[in-house]
Amino acid sequence: MLKIIRFLCGYVIFTVKGAAPEVFINRATKSGVRLFNIKKHKEFLYCSVMASEYFALRRVAKQSRVRIKIKNKVGLPFFIRLYKKRKGIFVGIMCFGLTLYFLSLYVWSIDIKGLESTDENQFNTLINDLGICTGILKSEIDTPMVEKIIMNKFSNISWVSVNIKGSILSFEVKEKIEAPQIIPKTTPCNVKANSDGQIIRMEVYEGTPEIKNGDAVVKGQLLINGFVEDDFGTCNIRHADAKVFALTKHSLKKEVELCEMQKQKTGKVVERKRLKLFGIELPLTLVPAPGADFEKNVQIKSVEVGGVCLPISYYKEVWTQFCEQKVVLSAEEAMQKANAELEQEEQEKLKDIKILSEDKKEKFLNGKATIIADYTCEENIAVQEEIILES
């Protein structure tokens, strides 16, 4: 702050030469003149003083028998005096300031944070339908209304905040975390089977078992009863809870045709470029958009200064042509592809299940490579079901 004040008021850098410059400093201090940035270089002493106090130093220098000489004049008053005849500079500065003020009234960058499961394209479409885009006046944005509309449109968003910081409009989104469906401990329930299988062991925490080890059960069968009879013959309703492990069977099948149609690149690529400046798009190439057999890939580069995104963006559209071609796979290639697809499905559907053994059968039938995999698994088939009591 002190440096800013000195620059606005103006100050002088001068040299002191004489036999006793320290006497000069002491006399200047006693007379109320504030010296700063005092440095010694060879036989000279360099000092700085406010421009309005420099003339008072002439008498002090004469009394101290030293010579003072101005080396440099620094500050706004000297700049204005130097360029006061060049009115175009000051007009340019005023125009620049007015331009900055005018541009600061608009939104030039939109920042969206927190979208994970929500489709970003749908979110962008919604705010575009509300008229929110780069180049809009900040005063035209009703942030509470925008927040309310977003909350009503997306049921999986629990909280959204719309803020305007400078020329940046930011959306901070918090999505809902879906809680697992768990029946409360105070609610009576039974435990049933969610899959066919053969019981191998049970861990019963509450309730009456209706099956025993070695029994075969079917999906939906009652495993642990929530009705419990005490030592006095009284029947009470409990919140049945247990883990019931069973041997289960699962089967997966994958088929890959030996002759199939695949999309192949033709090698033809069309590029379209444009520059977006303050919300206005300027085409850099005059190539029209290709036909339907092309796929578009858009590359966007934004200009950032100090982490702030400026309202200048470079768009490059790369259109690649594809055509469907008949591809004939060898028997080995088709079977490898079928195995890869089977492994992927296995990881998705059986990821939480312990696989004890598997039996794969590979065959070629009707021009297809077919794999059928049968799995013997160990899994917890217990699932709770609430007991509905009629009043």
Band of the pLDDT at 198, cuts 50, 70, 90? very high
Residue 49 lies in a domain: yes
User: Residue 178: its pLDDT value, please?
Assistant: 67
Residue 305 lies in a domain: yes
Q: Which domain holds residue 127?
A: 109-175
Q: What dihedral angle (degrees, nearest 10) is formed by the CA atoms of 331, 337, 338, 339?
A: 110
pTM listed for this prediction:
0.48
pLDDT above 80 for 390: no
User: Residue 184: its pLDDT value, please?
Assistant: 78
Distance CA 282, CA 151 (A): 35
User: How many domains does the chain contain in total?
Assistant: 3
Structure confidence by residue, pLDDT tens digits, 336-369? 989 999 999 998 888 889 999 999 998 887 888 8
C-alpha torsion sign, points 164, 165, 171, 174: negative
Closest CA to 369 of 260, 249, 273: 260
Average pLDDT over residues 225-251: 88
User: Residue 220: its pLDDT value, please?
Assistant: 92
Distance CA 53, CA 47 (A): 13
303's CB contacts (< 8 A; 6+ apart) are 309, 310, 312, 313
C-alpha torsion sign, points 123, 128, 132, 136: positive
pLDDT above 70 for 181: no
pLDDT above 60 for 391: no
Average pLDDT over residues 305-320: 76
72 and 113 fall within a common domain:
no
Q: CATH number for the domain including 19?
A: 3.30.70.260
Q: CATH number for the domain including 137?
A: 3.10.20
Rg (the chain; Cα; Å): 41
72 and 18 fall within a common domain:
yes
Q: What's the maximum distance between 2 C-alpha atoms anywhere in the chain?
A: 120
From the CB of residue 46, how many other CB atoms can be counted at a distance below 10 Å? 15
User: Residue 219: its pLDDT value, please?
Assistant: 93
Distances (CA, A) of 228 to 44, 224, 233, 245, 314: 104, 10, 9, 22, 72
44's CB contacts (< 8 A; 6+ apart) are 15, 16, 17
Residue 153 lies in a domain: yes
Residue 121 lies in a domain: yes
Considering 327, 343, 369, which residue would you say is the last residue of a domain?
A: 327
Residue 195 lies in a domain: no
Structure confidence by residue, pLDDT tens digits, 30-55? 888 888 888 888 888 899 998 888 88
12 and 68 fall within a common domain:
yes
Beta strand 109-113 with 168-175 is: parallel
Structure confidence by residue, pLDDT tens digits, 267-311? 899 999 988 876 678 888 888 888 888 888 888 787 766 666 667
Residue 93 lies in a domain: no
75 and 116 fall within a common domain:
no
27's CB contacts (< 8 A; 6+ apart) are 60, 63, 64
Distances (CA, A) of 336 to 147, 325, 339, 340: 51, 21, 5, 6
DSSP of 134-149 = TT-BGGG--HHHHHHH
9 and 67 fall within a common domain:
yes
Q: Count Cβ atoms within 10 A of the Cβ of residue 185 and give its class: 0-12 exposed, 13-18 middle, 19 or more buried.
A: exposed
Considering 40, 59, 80, which residue would you say is the last residue of a domain?
A: 80
Average pLDDT over residues 119-145: 86
Residue 154 lies in a domain: yes
**Is residue 294 within 8 Å of residue 319, measured between CB atoms?**
yes
User: Residue 217: its pLDDT value, please?
Assistant: 94
**What DSSP character marks residue 238?**
-
Distance CA 174, CA 71 (A): 61
**Is residue 48 within 8 Å of residue 36, measured between CB atoms?**
yes
Percent of the chain with pLDDT over 70: 96
Percent of the chain with pLDDT over 90: 24
Band of the pLDDT at 377, cuts 50, 70, 90? very high
Closest CA to 304 of 101, 109, 106, 107: 109
Residue 343 lies in a domain: no
Considering 327, 352, 385, which residue would you say is the last residue of a domain?
A: 327
